[in-house]
Amino acid sequence: MKNNKILVIGSSGQIGTDLCLSLERIYGAENIICSDLNPPKEKNQHKNFIKLDVLDNKILTRKVKEENISEIYLLAASLSALAEKNVLISWELNMNSLINVLELARKKIIKKVFWPSSIAVFGPDSPKLNTPQNTILNPSSIYGITKLAGEKLCKYYYDKFDVDVRSLRLPGLIGWRSLAGGGTTDYAVEIFYYALKNNDYTCFLSKETILPMMYMDDAIEAILKIMTTKKENIKIRTSYNISAVSFTPKELEKQIKIYFPNFNVKFKPDYRQKIADSWPDSIDDQEAKVDWGWKAKFSLEKLTSEMFKNLSN
């Protein structure tokens, strides 16, 4: 695989931590270059780790050429809650990282790109229930605006330069290998850590806020699947809707109480409530199912049991 190496940008983050492990297992650790500004949680977690700033285009290009990279998974981003506090920095990171990577593909230095979009592309004017693939997109968060602009860029680079960039509109992700950071859906990960430590949890969203969510293993499978699907079967070149489960903080608390009956959640909504209120309750992912056979495996019950099983280990 000398000329077919993969570069993961943002490998120490929530998705990157899990994705790198899967890519290393499938393609061999020697073929995966993990990169981030921060080191991985565990020392020697990856065979190849480099410190890399995706905004430094010169060094990025040099590294990609030196390592014979053919595919990039671009995961570095500022998520919804953090982005509201750092508008310009988030715009710069979310947009310029994508432009830098798309340019490498336009110049044929790399062959394929994965870039995650988000349910944040939807806004208060989008239908709330079973939100369709093609609908009104008026995001109200700066993060949603960067994701929508990113989707348009992906489609433009595909139509104009035949750049093979593939994307998913990810919901809130729940995994045990790392904490989320800076998102509106982060409560659904944090809450497990509090329950395990026998601490009560104060949720920053109201108890009835329903949001689309997904267990990390499902998300990784979706990413691997869309990246290995034949090019002609990828019909959507903005970003695919994908969906797994939808639940409220109260429903998650109820599930957790099956394992920790004395666990309690207080609800103290903050500025993140407004972001959550602008997002869909549930997502219609028919196109992903038809085009590349997507199907989620983890229900709320199953993901809760997996979280406790793995976190207590």
Q: Could you list the active site residues?
A: 143
Candidates 93, 104, 119, 256: give the one binding ligand AKB (CB under 6 A). Answer: 119
Contact 288, 153 (CB under 8 A): no
Task: Give the separation between CA 158 and CA 165, rounded to whole angstroms.
Answer: 7
Distances in Å between the alpha carbon of 300 and those of 91, 180, 186, 266, 277? 33, 18, 16, 20, 21
Q: Does 118 bind ligand AKB (CB under 6 A)?
A: yes
Closest to ligand AKB by CB, 69 or 81: 81
From first CA to last CA, the distance across the chain in angstroms is 35
User: Nearest CA to 141 among 131, 156, 126?
Assistant: 126
SS3 55: coil
**CB-nearest residue to ligand AKB:** 183
Please say which residue, 153 or 183, places its beta carbon nearer to ligand AKB.
183
Asked whether position 183 contacts ligand AKB by CB under 6 A, the answer is yes
Long-range contacts of 84-93 (CB under 8 A, 24+ apart): 84/141, 84/142, 84/143, 84/271, 84/275, 87/142, 90/142, 90/143, 90/146, 91/142, 91/146, 92/55, 93/54, 93/55
**Using the rule CB under 6 A, is 185 a contact of ligand AKB?**
yes
Binding status of residue 54 toward ligand AKB by CB under 6 A: no
What is the residue whose two structure tokens read 């108890």? 207
* Nearest distance in Å: CB 149, ligand AKB: 15
Nearest approach, Cβ of residue 83 and ligand AKB (Å): 8
Candidate list 80, 278, 282, 304; residue touching ligand AKB; CB under 6 A: 80
Q: Dump the DSSP string for 226-239.
A: HHHS-GGG---SS-
Do 55 and 77 touch, CB atoms closer than 8 A?
no
Number of Cβ within a 10 Å radius of residue 101: 27
The reply on whether position 174 binds ligand AKB by CB under 6 A is no
Choosing from 100, 184, 238, 278, the residue that interacts with ligand AKB (CB under 6 A) is 184
Candidates 7, 19, 52, 79: give the one binding ligand AKB (CB under 6 A): 79
Instruction: Select from 123-131, 158-166, 178-186, 283-291 the region that touches ligand AKB (CB under 6 A).
Output: 178-186
Q: Tell whether residue 209 is a contact of ligand AKB (CB under 6 A).
A: no
Q: Tell whether residue 97 is a contact of ligand AKB (CB under 6 A).
A: no
Smallest gap from residue 139 Cβ to ligand AKB (A)? 11
Residue in 172, 175, 249, 280 binding ligand AKB, rule: CB under 6 A: 172
The CB-of-257 to ligand AKB minimum distance in angstroms stands at 24
Q: At a CB cut-off of 8 Å and minimum separation 6, what does 186 contact?
A: 81, 172, 179, 180
- Alpha-carbon distance 170 to 147, whole Å? 11
For the bound state, the minimum distance from the C-beta of residue 185 to ligand AKB, rounded and expressed in Å, comes to: 4
Segment interacting with ligand AKB, rule: CB under 6 A, options 107-115, 132-140, 164-172, 201-209: 164-172
Residue ranges that bind ligand AKB, judged by CB under 6 A: 79-80, 118-120, 143, 170-172, 183-185
